[in-house]
Amino acid sequence: MKLITCLLLVCSLLSAPVVLAAQSTDESNANIGYITDDLFIYMHAGPGSHYRLVGSINAGDEISLTGKTENDYTEIIDTKERTAWVESKYVSVEPGLRQVIASLNAQLAVQSEDYQQASSQLTDNNQLITSLQSREAELSSQIENLNKQLDTLRGQLDNQDLEIKKEYFFNGAIVLVVGLILGIVLPRISVKKRSSMDNWK
Q: Could you read off the pLDDT tens digit of each residue along the chain, which spans 201 residues?
A: 444 444 444 445 444 433 333 343 343 445 877 676 656 788 899 999 899 999 988 877 888 999 999 999 999 999 889 999 999 988 888 776 666 777 788 899 999 889 999 999 999 999 999 999 999 999 999 999 999 999 999 988 888 888 888 888 888 888 888 888 877 877 777 666 666 665 555
For 51-85, give the secondary structure using H, E and C. Answer: CCEEEEEECCCEEEEEEEEECCEEEEECCCCCEEE
CB 96 within 8 A of CB 35: yes
Determine the Cα–Cα distance for residues 70 and 28; give it in Å rounded to an integer.
24
pLDDT score at 69: 93
- List of residues 6+ apart from 178 with CB closer than 8 A: none
Q: CA 201 → CA 191, 193, 195, distances in Å?
A: 16, 13, 10
Among residues 89, 88, 50, which one has the least CA distance to residue 66? 88
CB 103 within 8 A of CB 60: no
Q: How many CA atoms lie within 13 A of 99 on its CB side?
A: 19
**DSSP one-letter code for 30:** T
User: Burial code of 161-179, b = ≥16 C-beta within 10 A, e = fewer?
Assistant: eeeeeeeeeeeeeeeeeee
Residue 75's φ and ψ, nearest 5 degrees, are -85, 135
